[in-house]
Amino acid sequence: GEDVEQSLFLSVREGDSSVINCTYTDSSSTYLYWYKQEPGAGLQLLTYIFSNMDMKQDQRLTVLLNKKDKHLSLRIADTQTGDSAIYFCAEKRGFQKLVFGTGTRLLVSP
């Protein structure tokens, strides 16, 4: 994950919106992904965006992509305590290799 950067920690209150940010380096990446990881578990695919899109909305999730700045964000509306987890952004390079960021730990307090 040395080429994909994320802030380490985010704390929000239940009901607020959460915004998790990510910067990547490979401008040729075709797809960018957001995965969720709960303690002791594998990775759950949340959503993804194709590189020719600026925005994608999927229920409470909104993904914004700024290709010029190589910046990706995930907004979670009406954040719930069940959203507490580590969130990874990842870019697809070449065949099907995923390069992950270091993850952002989201803590949602009641």
Partner 1 sequence: ETGVTQSPTHLIKTRGQQVTLRCSSQSGHNTVSWYQQALGQGPQFIFQYYREEENGRGNFPPRFSGLQFPNYSSELNVNALELDDSALYLCASSLWGGTLNTEAFFGQGTRLTVV
Residues 94 and 102: their CA atoms lie apart, in Å, by: 20
Quote the least distance from Cβ 44 to partner 1, whole Å: 8
29 DSSP assignment: -
**SS3 for 2?**
coil
Q: Phi and psi for 14 in degrees, rounded to 5?
A: -55, 135
Q: Which of residues 9-68 bind partner 1 (CB under 8 A)?
A: 31, 33, 35, 40-45, 48
Closer of 15 and 94 to partner 1 (Cβ): 94
Q: Which residues make up the interface to partner 1 (CB under 8 A)?
A: 1, 4, 31, 33, 35, 40-45, 48, 88, 90, 94-103
